[in-house]
Amino acid sequence: MQKSSPSLVNNPHYQQCTRCVMDTSAIEISFDINGVCTYCLEAENELPNYQFTKTQEKNNLEELTKKIINTNKNKYDSILGLSGGVDSSYVAYLAWKMKLNPLCVHFDNGWNSEISVQNIHKIIENTGFDLETYVIDWPEFKDLQKSFLKAGVIDIEMLTDHAIFASLFKIRKQNKIKYVLSGTNYATEHGIPFSWIWPKMDKKNILSIHNKFGDKKIKSFPTMSYLRWELMKRFRLGGEFIEILNLINFNKTKAMNTLKSVFDWNYYGGKHYESRFTKFYQAYILPNKFNVDKRKPHLSALIRNNEINKKVALAELKKPLYKEQELKEDLSYVIKKLDFLKEEFNMIMDSDPVSHYNYPNSRSFYKKIKDIF
């Protein structure tokens, strides 16, 4: 039976935020005397840093344009990862409007949806940007994903996120490009519980899990150490990482409407559902094995960004995460593509979750860096 949303409402200690839809399914959540959650309280302080007048927004983009163009001495003035999703597609749109000449890089991990591929082609055709597709070694990547599933850890998607960043900076270096334009943004991505994710650049954790559960030798999977990532991001050593959506009043709903109007871009039904595996991971693996519904933080961020109200979010959470026939098809597809026996996959889903801490990792180093900065 497919759940509509993991629920703890029968728990006497259950509590939901009075403003958003985050609740005690996030073990680290707390509430003030008015029942407002920590994520809403944090956003009260942080969101104003990402809100601008029209003049400020215009100046931010003009200053960035001058900075990128004036320091460019190569064919491409910037590089951006293009998945076909909302955030990366809107970054491409902004770069086009700013008359930049980025190299667009698509990371193909074998799980592209047809809609995402169509979106990418439409954007490239309309903007005239060059596109380079980084096709990962599928047998290696499949073995890594199977390892993470067998390990029982929650953040299986850190494999894709890690490889995207690592491959992007590899191509950046090859083409002598300084600026990396990212779709990372605070407005629609803040408020994800730390217990639901793991630091994406923890190369040590990735390799240790694979060493224990993998069958193949990893030769080409792109990696980047956490130290190198921090040196680049914080001190601009090896490129400059620009979160361009944090320089504007980013609104997911308005961005989607713009993309639809300009590029005939199409939505794929959920945050990061441009990937078939991500959709299956968020709509099936997370709720059924980890009691996690990522729609809660995603919808809550939109509430705080004044894009929807709580009533709309609650109505969305009542909808099934999967339509019955669609789940049946995707379940069969994923099991077959990953070369699992159905019984083996069911055993993995029925087993208890295991913490990333149970495997060698760089989390202590990660915390030290966070404390310093």
Please state, in angstroms and rounded to a whole number, the distance separating the CA atoms of residues 203 and 248: 32
The rounded distance, in Å, linking the Cα atoms of 131 and 98 is: 18
Q: What is the pLDDT of residue 5?
A: 46
What is the mean pLDDT of the segment spanning 152-156?
98
Q: What average pLDDT is seen over the chain?
A: 91
The helix (run of H) or strand (run of E) holding residue 105 is strand 102-108
Mean pLDDT on 203-231? 90
Q: What is the pLDDT of residue 239?
A: 74
Q: Does domain 53-292+325-372 have CATH number 3.40.50.620?
A: yes
Q: What is the mean pLDDT of residues 80-107?
A: 95
What separation in angstroms does the CA of 171 have from each of 106, 180, 200, 244? 11, 11, 19, 20
Candidate ranges 1-10, 169-178, 182-191; pick with highest mean pLDDT = 182-191
pLDDT surpasses 80 at 373? no
CA 196 to chain centre: 13
Q: Is the pLDDT of residue 76 over 90?
A: yes
Distance, CA of 129 to CA of 95 (rounded, Å) = 10
pLDDT over 80 (residue 366): no
Q: Which pTM was predicted?
A: 0.91
Among residues of the chain, what percentage have pLDDT more than 90? 79
CA–CA distance, 89 with 68 (Å, rounded to integer) = 19
As a whole number of angstroms, the distance between CA 276 and CA 281 comes to 9
Report the distance separating Cα 19 and Cα 309, nearest Å: 9
pLDDT band at 363 (very low <50, low <70, confident <90, very high): confident
Q: Give tens-digit pLDDT for 267-313.
A: 876 555 678 899 999 999 999 999 999 999 999 999 999 999 999 99
Tell me the average pLDDT across 320-333.
93
- Better-scored residue on pLDDT, 4 or 340: 340
> Which tens digit of pLDDT belongs to each residue from 229-275?
777 666 666 678 899 999 999 999 999 999 999 999 998 765 556 78
Tell me if residue 303 falls in helix, strand or coil: helix
Residue 275 φ/ψ, nearest 5 degrees: -105, 130
Conformation bin of residue 176: beta by default, left when phi > 0, alpha when psi is -120 to 50: left
Give the DSSP H/E element, type plus range, for residue 231. helix 226-235
- Check residue 249 and give its pLDDT: 97
Q: Which residue type does 325 have?
A: Q
The predicted structure's pLDDT at residue 269: 64
Q: What is the mean pLDDT of residues 41-69?
A: 96
Structural contact between residues 210 and 147, judged by C-beta atoms closer than 8 angstroms = yes
**The two three-digit tokens of residue 284, written as one number:** 């099936």
Radius of gyration of the chain (CA): 21
